[in-house]
Amino acid sequence: MKVLVTGGAGYIGSHACKALAEAGHEPITYDNLSTGHDWAVRWGPLEVGDILDPARLAEAFARHRPEAVMHFAALAYVGVSVRDPSSYHRTNVVGTLNLLDAARAAGVPRIVFSSSCATYGIPERVPIAIGTAQHPVNPYGWTKLAGERMLADHCAAYGLGAVALRYFNAAGADPAASIGEDHEPETHLIPLALDVAAGRRPRLDVYGDDYPTPDGTCIRDYVHVCDLADAHVRALDACEPGAMRAANLGVGRGYSVREVVDAVRRVTGREVPARIAPRRPGDPPALVADASPASTLPDWSARWTELDAIIDTAWRWHRRHFGGGA
């Protein structure tokens, strides 16, 4: 089928486009290229446009007549969302509403939504099960939860079929190193640590060492981007008319910031100087998925389960794309 992929020029979206093409579908990337890259659009056409532009969205739907939508386009920096929530409400909430209106007008029956574990906030129990109450602690998480609520309302009222995928920390890169992570500014731990290992940054800032965790640093569940892409393709078949379903996407094991830095040292064979910096606002101490098979995606589970292997794919991409030695 034809699938309109908003944010398809970005990190996760581009990997989803590759997975769609390998599964026999045609991805149509819709991206304003503010954070995405045209070089990452390799498996279908590119429509340059913004989800805040209803007329441009309508043009893209009319030209390509997609049968499904994958919605990745969003602002996604937790700290920035705390400092500037208005921009996050506008892009992530109003933009999603624009997309839903355009899809409904075009008669598109299914949508797969890029949600987030940030909708859970600080959970009472870890690992986090799919039925855990959602109480976000930052504006980014609230905007993703608002997107889920809009989807549920549209499913009930208009017969849309939707799946919201709440994933944990995306990591790694295409094993062939054809696409990977390239953000400006970069805020994600693994590419920042690889930057230090490659000599592109002098040191790594560790944001807080006084969290209630074994070594005082935040714990996260790192799920390979190719596993995320595979889940999005599988979710197309899980869309049922009139229903909004959800699934957690994670490995089920958490690693602290210090453990990730140690893994980067092992994989690269290089030093990663680090210093302790103040906590970032909105960061929960620990976010780890319950990795039990999800009823929404019963055939999906993470294939990349070892942190060193995940980091190795990111390192191969990093050296190819940015340089930094053999």
pLDDT digits (tens, 9 = 90+) for 73-115: 999 999 899 999 999 999 999 999 999 999 999 999 999 999 9
Res 326: pLDDT: 45
Which sign does the torsion angle of CA 217, 223, 229, 232 carry? negative
**H-helix segments, 248-304:** 257-268
Question: Which of 227, 212, 232, 119 is CA-nearest to residue 165?
Answer: 232
Handedness of CA 196, 226, 8, 297 (dihedral sign): negative
Rg (CA), the chain: 19
Return the CATH number at 258: 3.90.25.10
Residues 155 and 280 in one domain: no
Q: What's the rounded Cα separation, in Å, for the pair 246 and 166?
A: 7
The model's pTM is 0.96
Residues 268 and 317 in one domain: yes
Number of domains in the chain: 2
Distance CA(307)–CA(253), nearest Å, equals 10
Q: Do residues 165 and 114 lie in contact, with contact meaning Cβ atoms separated by under 8 Å?
A: yes
pLDDT of the residue at 295: 83
Say whether pLDDT at 286 is over 60: yes
Domain presence at residue 183 = no
115-161 pLDDT per residue, tens: 999 999 999 899 999 999 999 999 999 999 999 999 999 999 999 99
177 lies in a domain?
A: no
Residues 129 and 100 in one domain: yes
Q: Are residues 232 and 297 in the same domain?
A: no
Provide the pLDDT for residue 325. 52
Range of the domain at 294: 189-220+252-322
Instruction: Give 324's pLDDT tier (boundaries 50, 70, 90).
Output: low
Same-domain status, 278 and 316: yes
Question: Are both 116 and 260 inside the same structural domain?
Answer: no
How high is the mean pLDDT of the chain? 96
What is the Cα–Cα distance from 272 to 264, expressed in whole angstroms? 8
Could you tell me how many residues make up the chain?
A: 326
DSSP state of 282: T
Residues 149 and 283 in one domain: no
Catalytic residue among 11, 88, 140, 255: 140
Is there a single domain that holds both residue 287 and residue 229? no
CB 246, CB 296: distance < 8 Å:
yes
CATH of the domain at 72: 3.40.50.720
Do 108 and 205 fall into the same domain?
A: no
222 is catalytic: no
Same domain, 158 and 281: no
Residue 90 near residue 50, CB atoms below 8 Å = no
Asked if residue 67 has pLDDT above 80, the reply is yes
Distance CA 290, CA 286 (A): 13
Q: What's the rounded Cα separation, in Å, for the pair 89 and 112?
A: 20
Query: Hey, what long-range contacts does 57-60 have (CB within 8 A, 24 or more apart)?
Result: 57/30, 57/98, 57/99, 57/102, 58/102, 58/105, 58/106, 60/4, 60/28, 60/30
**Do 59 and 7 lie in a common domain?**
yes
